[in-house]
Each structure stands twice: as C-alpha cells, then as structure tokens.
Structure 1
C-alpha cells in the first residue's frame, strides 16, 4: 500500500515513517502543505495521513483541494488541536477519520487498516478469494487454510492484487504501490515477485490464479 505522510515535525515524521515501513506500507513524505498537495495530485495513493497544522498551506485546505480535484483515497488527519471545531472542519473538508496528538502508533495503524478495508468494501481484516486468504492485521497468507510465508515485498504485491481482484494491474502501478518514491520505476523486479508468488501459492499450477496480460500487467482471478 502506497501512503502519503504529511507532517512538518521532522522527529515525528521520521518515527512514523519508520513504523509504517515496518507495517509494510510504502511511504512518501511531505513536510508542508504545498508539497503535500503536489504529491497528492501527482501520484496515485492508497491512503494519506495529513497533519492539520502545516506550513505554507494548512492541512484542511490540502484535504479540501484534493477532494475537489477528484482524489478519493482515504485520508486520516492528525491534529494537536483539542477544539472539536477543528476536527469537524477537517472532516467536512473531506477527511475520513482523525487522530489527536499524542497517539499510539498501534492506534494509527489500526485506523489506517480499517480505512483501507472500508475503501475496498471489506468489513473484516481477512480478505478471502477462493482458496486464498490474507489477513491485513497480521500479514498472514493462507492457501487452503495452510499458512504460507512470504517476504515483505511479496506480501505487498499479493495484498494489492487481493484488494483489486479481477482488475488488470500494470507493473508500474504495482511498483509505485510497494516501493518508496525514490525507487526506479523502470525496474522489472515485479516479474520476479509474481514468479515467486506463483511458485509459493500455486506450486502445482492448480489454480493459475495470476494471469499475465501481455502489454498490460497482471490480474488476480476472482474465485467463487
């Protein structure tokens, strides 16, 4: 999942980025509202965490501008402000949830997981597709109820495909959603991860669950 983290407190930004990377998010960062708005409009994010008290352009204005431009990814706002009016203004601008500082990182990641599930139409942390199951909360993958170990990047690729079952996803899109913003998007490493997923999750080619659409990308088949 590709996440935009907008926080001007450098110590907090670095700590949150570190913790979110450990949760298998690909994290892009911005330290002011101007950069945040540019990145939010330029790149396709799965979710954003935006502080309200930002330099140059405040967080509420950033959220409102993103929504007006048609950006519909979930947004969680962070605020050190205790006034309920500030929280309401952020939600009215288009944010989906908020956290008041200080907060526990565990609560942040729980809220983010819930927002991602909601945006994908999933009520549970467990995503099921025929013989395949993926638990967003625990990063566990099951095939016919048997746990299979995946590397962090393999899990990110499979998770993205599971959240977009039946859709054709390009290599560029997959790369953007599993790596940070400074990664070389021309890399063919996605092919390696797809090959590994096929070997680990369908070693006997029983399901042929990932289709290669030549010149377009990959599609995870939808099972009934």
Structure 2
C-alpha cells in the first residue's frame, strides 16, 4: 500500500514516515502544499494524510482540487484545528477522517489501515486464498499456519494481489502501489519483486503456485485447486 503525507512540521512528518515504513507502507512525503497537490494528482495513493495549515496551498484547497479531479482517494486530515466547525467543514469538502494534533502514532496507523480497507471494501483485515492468509492489521502472513518472513515490499505486493484476487494487476499498478516516487520505471523491479514473493510463499515443493503471469498484461493470484 502506498501513502502520501503532506505535513510542513518536519518532526511530525519524519515520525509518521518512519512509522508507516516500519508497517510495510510505501511512502511519499512533502512539506509544501503545491508539491503535495502535484503528488496527489500524479500518483494513485491508497491513503493521503493531509495537514490543513501548509505553505503555498492549504490542505482544504488541496482536497477540493483532488475531488474536483475526480479522485476518490481516502483523505485523513491531520491538523491542530480542533473546533467542531473545522471538522464539519473538512468532512463537507470530502475528508474521510480527521485526527487532531497531538496524536498517538498507533491511532494514526489504525486510521490509515481502516481507510485503506474501506477503499477496497474490505470489512475484515484478514485476506485468505487457499492455505495462504494475510493479516493487514497485524502485518503477518501465514501459509499452512506457518508464519512467513516477508520483506515490506513483498508484503505490499502480496496484499495488493490478494485485494484484487482473480484480477490481473498491471506492472504499472504494482509500481504505483508498492514503490515510492524514486523507483526507476525502466528497471525490472516488478519482475524481481514477483520472483522474490513467489519464492517467499513457496514453503515446500508441495505448495501450489498461486501467483500467475498474464503475459503482456500483468500478474494475478488465484487458487487453482478451487
């Protein structure tokens, strides 16, 4: 999953970025309103964390332009404005959630995870296919009840494929979802990531191959035994 944070207080922004990355999210960040708007319109994020008081362009203006562009990305306002009128205004212009500073990182992570579930219409944090299980809240993957040690990128890729179970996910969609803006689009990072994930979830020779390739189109996950 990929998250954008637009927050001009560097200490807060860095703390949130560290926490998100530690929880297997790909993260882009900026402290400038105009730069934040560019990112929000240029990339397809799973969640956007948006401060209201920003230099050059405030969070409310950013959110309005995001919605005017037809993007329904879940937006969490992160702000010092704690009056009920401020919250109501934020919800009216399209915010999905509101968190007042100062806040506990654990609460922010829980809200981000809930918003990303809502985007994919997932009521439960548990995703299952065949004998493979992914817990989006605990960030744990099991196969045949055996806990697997996945890298953050492998976890994010598996999560994306399981959320889109049975659907082909293109190389571009994978790049947009699990990597930050610094990935080289001409590299073979996606192919390498898929290879690494296949290897990580193949616990023994009898394990079925769940991740399939649709040549020229992308990848999908499917239980061939079903």
TM-score (norm 2): 0.92
| C-alpha separation in 1, matches of 2:59 and 2:49 | 10
Distance 2:156 2:125 in 1: 15
Matched with 1:116 is: 116
How far residue 144 of structure 1 moved from its aligned partner, in angstroms, is: 2.6
Which runs of structure 1 show a deviation greater than 6 angstroms over 4 or more consecutive aligned residues?
A: none
CA–CA separation in structure 1 for the residues paired with 2:70 and 2:181: 22
| Aligned residue number for residue 82 of structure 1 | 82
For residue 18 of structure 1, give the secondary structure of its aligned residue in structure 2: helix
Q: CA deviation at 1:45?
A: 0.9
Contact 2:46 2:119 in 1 (8 A): no
Measured after TM superposition, the shift of residue 97 of structure 1 is: 0.6
Distance in 1 (alpha carbons) for counterparts of 2:185 and 2:123:
33
Residue aligning to 2:219: 218
CA distance, structure 2, for counterparts of residue 204 and residue 104 of structure 1 = 44
C-alpha deviation, 1:222, in angstroms: 5.7
Is 1:140 the counterpart of 2:166? The answer is no
- Which residue of the partner structure matches residue 161 of structure 1? 161
Deviation at 1:31, TM superposition (A): 1.6
Question: Does residue 34 of structure 2 align to residue 15 of structure 1?
Answer: no
Moved more, 95-104 or 29-38: 29-38
Q: Which residue of 2 aligns with 1:100?
A: 100
For residue 64 of structure 1, report the CA deviation from its aligned partner: 1.7
How far 1:196 sits from its partner (Å)? Answer: 2.5
Q: Distance in 1 between matches of 2:21 and 2:33?
A: 22
Q: Which residue of 2 aligns with 1:171?
A: 171
Uncovered stretches (5+) of structure 1, i.e. residues with no partner: none
Q: Displacement, 1:205?
A: 6.3
In the other structure, the counterpart of 1:5 is: 5
On the 8 A contact 1:2/1:178 being kept in 2, the answer is yes
Question: How far is the alpha carbon of 1:59 from its aligned partner?
Answer: 0.7
Aligned residues, how many? 224
CA deviation vs aligned residue, 1:116-161 (integer Å, no higher than 9, x gap): 1121111122112232210112211112322222122211211111
In structure 2, distance between residues paired with 1:49 and 1:29: 9
Alignment of 1:44-83 (within 5 A): 44-83=44-83
Match of 1:126 in 2: 126
Provide the secondary structure at the position in 2 that maps to 1:215. Answer: coil
Aligned to 1:26: 26
Secondary structure (helix, strand or coil) at the match of 2:111 reads: helix
Checking the alignment, whether the CA contact within 8 Å between 1:135 and 1:141 is kept in structure 2 is yes
